Amino acid sequence: MIRVGYPSTISIELFRDFPVGIELIPISEKLDHDVKIDVWIPDPYPTRAMRAWPRLRGVRLIISMLAGTEWIPPLVGPHVTICNAQGAHNVATAEWVVGAILATLKYFPLYLDVQRSGVWKRRFEAPQYYAAITGDATPIYPPVMLEDLAGKRVLLVGYGEIGKEIEHMLAPFRVELTRVARSARIKPKVHPAVELDQLIPSVDIIILIVPATNETRGLIGAEQFALMRQGTLVVNAARGAVVNTDALVEALKAGKIRAAIDVTDPEPLPEGHPLWSCPNLLITPHVGAASPQMAPNALRTAADELRRYLNGEPLHRVVQQAT
């Protein structure tokens, strides 16, 4: 019988649709003895999973509950097959992206400050902010109190499953969308990553939803920020290292761009880090997929991979094949 280790923090009820022929073994981060399992579903919090790993024996397959698995290969080595949870968190992540864009363009952080202050007249800080961030000092009446998403020019950097879900959710806003991926495609038109710098100056919003790889580390740095139009909104739902943190801090402090980020580098973001106090920035602490459906969705993908594994069928979401 295949022994499958799972996080002891997750209710056994969520495993009711798992295939027969397996034995479920709860794995705690506080293991004080060795445990032999064949398949491991790590805790979605990597630090907890890392504490458990030294006590695990016999693991041949790891099925992650997350789409990002960059921390797993250095931990387990090349002799274990690793699958991710691709597709499980598409909707939640795409909703975060659209929500972050709308929150920024509708000046929700400013209006939350107004609410907390209890001073109605502070609403007139909005037109001042608009003029400063966009560089448009033209007198406008009635004054600008927020911005529209409709009609904005959006650069979608990363066109996998989550990127496609973001595109679908942006469709009602009638944005002008340009797609970028590692390589070019014809239908729909996707620009290759080598054209990124050529495309940056012509857009209003840049969405980053690429995987963390050596190629994408520092993809957006000082050179790219310099190419951006005044007031460009950068939305990072990928990984913190995709954006050079020092360059991001400088661009924000200079008032050149604005940003909404769910990921940071370093992460967790330490107390007192300059990013916390940057202007024109909305930060959420890597919560983009953490809806009530996160675990059920991830375990459905895990169950699918496990069935394939038991039946000797090809696995669908392999990110590392055991050597």
Residues noted as catalytic: 239, 267, 286
How many C-beta atoms lie closer than 10 Å to residue 48's C-beta? Answer: 17
Residue type present at position 93: T
Q: Which of 202, 285, 281 is nearest to 234 (CA)?
A: 281
Per the document, the length of the chain is 323
Q: Which of 84, 47, 78, 85 is nearest to 60 (CA)?
A: 78
Residue type present at position 111: Y
Rounded to the nearest 5°, which phi and psi values hold at 255?
75, 20
DSSP calls for 257-304:
EEEEES--SSSSPPTT-GGGG-TTEEE--S-TT-STTHHHHHHHHHHH
Are 274 and 249 spatial neighbours (Cβ–Cβ below 8 Å)? yes
Tell me how far apart the alpha carbons of residues 10 and 318 are, in angstroms, rounded to a whole number: 23
Give the SS3 label for residue 206.
strand
